[in-house]
Chain A
Amino acid sequence: DAGVIQSPRHEVTEMGQEVTLRCKPISGHNSLFWYRQTMMRGLELLIYFNNNVPIDDSGMPEDRFSAKMPNASFSTLKIQPSEPRDSAVYFCASTLGLAGVAGELFFGEGSRLTVL
């Protein structure tokens, strides 16, 4: 398996533009997570899905952020409109959640977003 695949790897955009980050989890994994990493705040969980259903989006900073998982092999994180403070590395991760038992998270390479 190629692991968790994220795109784009790097994105530079101007304030006010829409940003869409994409993620393909590992085949067979049933839980998917979006994390944001900054120097100031570390690794923050934004939202996670179980069997394509959003379970907890309490970490989504504001209404400008939205996430979808239309099927088991694809998820998007959208920021509209983007702001400079959204600049960060966004990681997608997946895991094989068995009966609610926690296990290893497999992270993608991350998408480095810079909003000018």
Chain B
Amino acid sequence: GENVEQHPSTLSVQEGDSAVIKCTYSDSASNYFPWYKQELGKRPQLIIDIRSNVGEKKDQRIAVTLNKTAKHFSLHITETQPEDSAVYFCAASMSGTASKLTFGTGTRLQVTL
């Protein structure tokens, strides 16, 4: 089955700095890569996703990049704000299995003032 590794497990940045979270996946057939944000005590919520036919996608301060050759994808958050503090999960979905997502282990991002 699919295996997703995520680094780092914790990340502390100062407000206004950028944050980068990296993930690798094992199954070359995976073609959908979402990122979820989970605030303390809340449910995970989708913040951005990318499919294998594109290499990069942006949404305001958030961007994702995908390198299918290396089986690697990353989340970039620019101009971080305190409200960005949360746990971020990457995930990968194998082709033909609808939304059966395999999640990474999560990155706890702390944005300090």
| A residues in contact (CB < 8 Å) with B | 31, 33, 42-43, 45, 48, 50, 55-56, 58, 91, 95, 97, 100-105, 107-110
Let me know if A91 and B99 touch, CB within 8 A: no
| B residues in contact (CB < 8 Å) with A | 1, 31-32, 34, 36, 42-46, 49, 89, 93, 96-106
Between A and B, how many residue pairs show CB distances below 8 Å?
60
Let me know if B98 and A100 touch, CB within 8 A: yes
Nearest opposing residue in chain A for B94, CB measure: A102
Nearest opposing residue in chain B for A98, CB measure: B98
Our pick among B32, B45, B105 for the contact of A107 (Cβ within 8 Å) is B45
- Bound CA–CA A43/B6 (angstroms): 13
- 21 A-B pairs in the complex with CB atoms less than 8 angstroms apart: A33-B99, A33-B100, A42-B103, A43-B44, A43-B103, A43-B106, A45-B101, A45-B102, A45-B103, A56-B100, A58-B1, A91-B43, A100-B96, A101-B98, A102-B34, A102-B97, A102-B98, A102-B99, A102-B101, A103-B99, A105-B99
> What's the dominant secondary structure at chain A's contact region?
strand
Tell which of B45, B96, B98, B102 has the most Cβ of chain A within 10 Å: B98
Residues of A with C-beta under 8 A to B97? 56, 100, 102
Let me know if A102 and B32 touch, CB within 8 A: yes
Let me know if A43 and B98 touch, CB within 8 A: no
Nearest opposing residue in chain B for A4, CB measure: B43
Let me know if B104 and A42 touch, CB within 8 A: yes
- Bound CA–CA A45/B98 (angstroms): 14
Given A102-B100, A104-B49, A105-B46, output 11 extra A-B contacts at Cβ < 8 Å: A56-B100, A97-B98, A100-B96, A100-B97, A102-B32, A104-B46, A105-B34, A105-B36, A107-B43, A107-B45, A109-B42
Residues of B with C-beta under 8 A to A45? 100-103
Given known pairs A42-B103, A43-B103, the reply for A110 and B98 (CB within 8 Å) is no
Residues of B with C-beta under 8 A to A50? 98
